Amino acid sequence: MSTPRKIIIDTDPGQDDAVAILLALGSPKELDVLGVTAVAGNVPLALTQKNARIVCELAGRPDMKVFAGCGAPMGRKLVTAEHVHGKTGLDGPVMPDPTMPLQDMHAVEFIIETLRAEPAGTVTLCVLGPLTNIGTAFERAPDIIDRVQEIVLMGGAYFQVGNITPAAEFNIYVDPDAAKIIFGAGVDIVVMPLDVTHKALTTRPRVEAFRALGNEAGRMVAEWTDFFERFDKDKYGSKGAPLHDPCVIAYLLKPELFSGRHVNVEIEVTSDLTLGMTVADWWGVTHRPANALFMGDLNAEGFFELLNERIARL
């Protein structure tokens, strides 16, 4: 049996982030989570670092190292999304405050130190929120860039255009400067844009299947989804909500669930109108070099089967 893949989960929980963390911690044979690094995004850092610990405890992992990272984007004012995730960021069920400790070390230092300590090319960065922690780490310690095995991130959009502005997806919009650093760093990048996450839609049977798992984790996932799907159903008139961030972890577990193209993706960082837009050259009309595997399709049934199977283990 192959050894588990070493990953760092960088996250702004967020109900969908929480489901992604549960999926990762429910897959110890395949994934070795070296640490969870919180970043400001859906809600401020004080809440994302607390929520990350709440989720690790829910997964039965109070030993997990959780770090607080950057409280604001690299060069801009923080934009949050309480309108989607609620004021706590994990609205839905009432959850107990965490008792596990937050690590003293700053998340950016942890990312730098871990990439320097682990053999080159053996650590994957799973980024579920704005890219501020990673962009800051790359800027502070350029030597770590070539040591990253791969970055798998949820962010951006092409055919689905924006969800926070008409042009931009939230994670990229919040910190487009950090995103520009990552997309220009030369690291292997796999992107889960709204084009694919909008196909990972919860439906009533899928939510009830989580609830029917009979464990606390399944019940929480159902209650988080009950809460956070109201926004997307109202906005898009869809049957359910997109489980954006679990797509990142599902890709590591079952890449065959996804399909996409190696294309060039550039980040808009100057125009007020299209700030944070991921300009994906899906049709190859420029000669800009491909810098990302940009996903476009998903086997949704297989995705939810995987989610159920792993969350049932917690």
Question: Could you give the residue numbers annotated as active site?
Answer: 244
Which stretch of DSSP H or E encloses residue 246? helix 246-253
Residue 128 touching ligand RIB (CB under 6 A): yes
Residue 51 touching ligand RIB (CB under 6 A): no
Binding segment toward Ca ion, per CB under 5 A, in 61-69, 114-122, 174-182, 242-250: 242-250
Distances (CA, A) of 124 to 16, 240, 313: 20, 30, 24
Which residue, chain included where needed, has tokens 């997964």?
Answer: 59
Out of 27, 37, 42, 291, point to the residue binding ligand RIB (CB under 6 A). Answer: 42
User: How are beta strands 189-192 and 148-154 bridged, if at all?
Assistant: parallel
Q: Which of 260, 246, 237 is nearest to 210 (CA)?
A: 246
DSSP structural state of residue 243: -
Single-letter amino acid, residue 224? W
Residue 249 touching ligand RIB (CB under 6 A): no
Binding segment toward ligand RIB, per CB under 6 A, in 118-126, 145-153, 162-170, 289-297: 162-170
Asked if residues 71 and 106 have their Cβ atoms less than 8 Å apart, the reply is no
Residue 246 touching Ca ion (CB under 5 A): no
Q: How far apart are CA 211 and CA 68, in angstroms?
A: 31
Out of 5, 7, 10, 14, point to the residue binding ligand RIB (CB under 6 A). Answer: 14
Out of 67, 138, 158, 170, point to the residue binding ligand RIB (CB under 6 A). Answer: 170
Binding segment toward Ca ion, per CB under 5 A, in 109-117, 120-128, 144-152, 230-238: 120-128
Residue 150 touching ligand RIB (CB under 6 A): no
Out of 17, 91, 229, 268, point to the residue binding Ca ion (CB under 5 A). Answer: 17
The sheet that has 31-38: what strands, in order across it?
A: 66-68, 31-38, 5-11, 123-127, 148-154, 189-192, 292-298, 258-263
Residues binding ligand RIB (CB under 6 A) = 12, 14, 16-17, 41-42, 128-129, 154, 163, 169-171, 244-245
Residues binding Ca ion (CB under 5 A) = 12, 14, 17, 128-129, 245
